[in-house]
Amino acid sequence: MKKLRLWPQSLVGQIIALVAIALFVAQAINFGLLLRERQRLELTGQTAPAVYRVIDALDNRADRRVEREREGDRQRGRMRARFVTGAPELTGQARPDVERRATAMFEDVGLRILSVRAVQSSEVMPVRRWERIRMRANGDGPHDHSIGLLTLAAEYEPGKWVVAQARSGADRPKRFGGWLVGQTLILYVIVLLPLLWVGSRLARPLKQLTGSAQQFARTGAADAVDERGPGDVRDLTMAFNAMRARIIAMLDEKDRMLGAIGHDLRTPLASLRVRTESVEDDAERARMSETIEEMNRMLEDILSLARAGRSTQAAQKVDLAALADAVVEDFIELGSPVDLADCDRAVAFVHPQQIRRALRNLIENAIVYGDRAHVSVLHENGAIRIAVADEGPGIGEDRMEEMLEPFTRLEGSRNRETGGSGLGLALVRAIMAEHQGELRLANRAEGGLEASLVLPG
């Protein structure tokens, strides 16, 4: 099962993800600070009226006339401060937050208070008109609220308390979070949309550059990349185009050199072949002819390996089952022990001459090292596999990769009877790489080696 990757793999995706995370963290910090300040302001708004009444009462407690007026007020309403001796009995839910805020407010005005107690009454008070207007201004409906009663008691002298009451809001709906979420979404739109545009502008030339580099790796040739985008990307594109032009020039020079070498070597080899005909000793003449043929085959292998990946012919739609049948028939006509299993039609876009060369190399190896070759064409997981199995000793697991390197053989001699020059598997691997395929080697459970050409279907 493929592992799910939540983190984007592209450069632009990672930049956008990092910016989005940074915005989220910044907004979360901002939300925490604003929420803390809002709670402090709400707490101050709940505490201030009662604290004001306590301070006012303490400032005017020596005035007898004011005290008599306050006594009359207590008869008319419950919102005025009153003095009591001994700790007052307060009923309701304790509000330690209000107590801490009231203590800080008393200290701010320089009033010495020994202790503070505060409770929130569950008694519901009627909503006044000015409170209803304030709720509407805040976007809150008055029917969603209840106005409770906050009682604050302050001990100003040992055993002497002043008690004040004030109206306090309760169960206010939290609309602050929704507002902040909306602000965050707007910020994301303002920041991320331009970033997406810049990212797409940056990604297009990088994508084209990647495609050109991949094409160059497959075929040895690629189109020049348009020099556009930001300055750094343009500099990178210009450097790639310059490197591409230089490598192509070097490869072209290499092809011309190899062509000249092949031509110059084939001429003296042809001359040697003609001269061998004048040798009277049949055995010596046969050995010389075999040596010349071996040199020709080695030269052909070297040139083919050097030109691998630089094919100038376009791929064709080929039935690989029919191609394998034709190659096997050629070996059978020469008396080689080769057989082909029944197989269905298998069509792929390939260079037929190269696939024919690769299959022929595998069959030759199977005959030399395994006495007999069994060829089959299979469909596996959307790919086409041409398998060549033999009945030989196989290859040690520790030497599988080594055998794919040029000029590597299972045994160290260069005797053509026991193998070739060691270029066969290296050439086959190069051909498979050009076709975006793979050469697989595996030992068979029943003995022998199975070499497979795996091609995209």
Going from the N-terminus, what domains does the chain have, and what CATH number goes with each?
11-174 (no CATH), 311-456 (3.30.565.10)
Q: What percent of the chain has pLDDT over 90?
A: 11
Between 178 and 109, the more confident residue is 109
Instruction: State yes or no: pLDDT of 15 exceeds 90.
Output: no
Helices 176-219 and 11-59, packing angle to 10 deg: 160
Q: What is the pLDDT of residue 322?
A: 92
Helix, strand, coil abundance in the chain, percent, nearest 5: 55, 20, 25
Residue type, 66: V
pLDDT digits (tens, 9 = 90+) for 268-292: 877 887 888 887 888 888 888 888 8
Q: What is the pLDDT of residue 380?
A: 85
Taking phi over 0 as left and psi of -120 to 50 as alpha, with beta for the rest, 203 belongs to alpha
Contact criterion met (CB below 8 Å) for 79 and 103: no
Q: What b/e readout covers 11-20, taking b as 16+ CB neighbours within 10 angstroms? A: ebeeebeeee
pTM: 0.47
Secondary structure class of 379 (helix, strand, coil): strand
Q: How confident is the model at residue 363 (pLDDT cuts 50, 70, 90)?
A: very high
Q: What is the DSSP secondary structure assignment for residue 223, as one 8-state letter?
A: P
Q: How confident is the model at residue 58 (pLDDT cuts 50, 70, 90)?
A: confident
Q: Which two three-digit tokens encode residue 35?
A: 């929420």
Instruction: State yes or no: pLDDT of 377 exceeds 70.
Output: yes
Least confident of 135-149, 325-339, 363-377: 135-149
pLDDT digits (tens, 9 = 90+) for 394-415: 888 878 777 777 666 665 444 4
Mean pLDDT of 120-124: 70
Q: What is the pLDDT of residue 87?
A: 85
Element (H, E) at 247: helix 231-276
pLDDT digits (tens, 9 = 90+) for 124-147: 555 555 555 555 555 454 444 556
User: What is the C-alpha to C-alpha distance for residues 356 and 358, in angstroms, rounded to an integer?
Assistant: 6
User: What is the C-alpha to C-alpha distance for residues 188 and 168, in angstroms, rounded to an integer?
Assistant: 38
Between 212 and 255, the more confident residue is 212
407 phi and psi angles, rounded to 5 deg: 60, 35
Q: Which of 435, 424, 215 is nearest to 320 (CA)?
A: 435
What is the CA 124 to chain-centroid distance, rounded? 58
Q: Which two three-digit tokens encode residue 426?
A: 């290296």
